[in-house]
A = this chain, B = another copy of it.
Amino acid sequence: MGTTQLETVPEPKYWHLRTVLSEALESEFSVGEILPNERDLAARFGVARATLRQALEQLELEGRLQRRRGVGTTVAPPRVGVAVGTEQHAWPGAGEDGWQATDSALAVPPATVADALVTGAEDPVHIVRRSRVTHGQPVAAELLYVPQSSVPDLSAIDAPSGAARARAVLRELQRLELEGQESAVELGSARADEARELDRLTGAPVLVVTTRYLAHGRTAALSVATYRADTCRLTFGDTGGVEIHQDPERRAS
């Protein structure tokens, strides 16, 4: 096989196939079109089924393909830009942001959340569940953790749970003066409940956005939002108008 260079890691076979398939998607298929079945594709490109499957998984990860039960593999539409950061800070639920509050319960949060909120490890907090829909598609699921001290006037009497309760928590939260907010984005995988809400399989890659809302010099609320990584592009900044398609080949110089 000739000489081997110390620094050279050979390109995996599936990666080469991925590149070839990617070009075929662009020249031969249109958005929404169903791909031939795996056996036919493997035969056409002269590869083993396992290699083909790896390449398809890769293209799914990159948002180029969608695999749906009962439908098959289709060419994905371009990712949807979803605005995450805005120039002016705002409490969750303030204004029209595409989020819908669906439930709220008082429960002890995970230890790391309790740390961030500086509540006691055993102190229950309000956990508001929200979901975000864009163009009729579920794009994100959120758990918003609100310490009881952030919403001291919330009455336990009316709407003890459900969407009405969730809205009441948000309304009370909005009475605080928001001093700042900061977010972090990282790669994660969907828990079973998130996966169901996002119409994905458990373990599917997601983009996790953690946002800390600051008031009175402390963290008044903490949001952990899980975005579909296959269909979403998270935008930060003035207009959210970065319209670059992210096929790695197209990123090549």
Contact = CB atoms under 8 A, between A and B. Distances in A.
A107 B253 CA distance: 7
B251 A182 contact: no
Nearest to A109: B253
Contacts of A185: 185, 207, 233-234, 236
Contact of A186 (B15, B110, B232): B232
Given A61-B205, A237-B182, A242 B187 contact: no
Contacts of A51: none
Interface string A209-249: 01110000000001010100110111111111111111111
A12 interface: yes
Interface residues of A, number: 76
A171 interface: no
B143 A253 contact: yes
In the complex this chain forms, how many copies of it are found?
2
Contact of A79 (B105, B181, B186, B247): B186
Interface of A: 7, 9, 11-12, 14-15, 18, 58, 61-63, 79, 81, 84-85, 105, 107, 109-113, 116, 127, 143, 180-192, 195-196, 201-203, 205, 207-208, 210-212, 222, 224, 226, 229-230, 232-253
A142 B214 CA distance: 32
Nearest to A110: B250
A12 B202 contact: yes
A186 B234 contact: yes
A191 B102 CA distance: 40
A14 to B, nearest CB: 8
Contact of A251 (B143, B180, B229): B143
A237 B181 contact: yes
A229 B61 contact: no
B15 A202 contact: yes
A52 B200 CA distance: 22
Contact of A184 (B81, B187, B252): B81
Contact of A237 (B180, B205, B207, B208): B180
A17 to B, nearest CB: 11
A130 to B, nearest CB: 13
A62 B187 contact: yes
Nearest to A79: B186
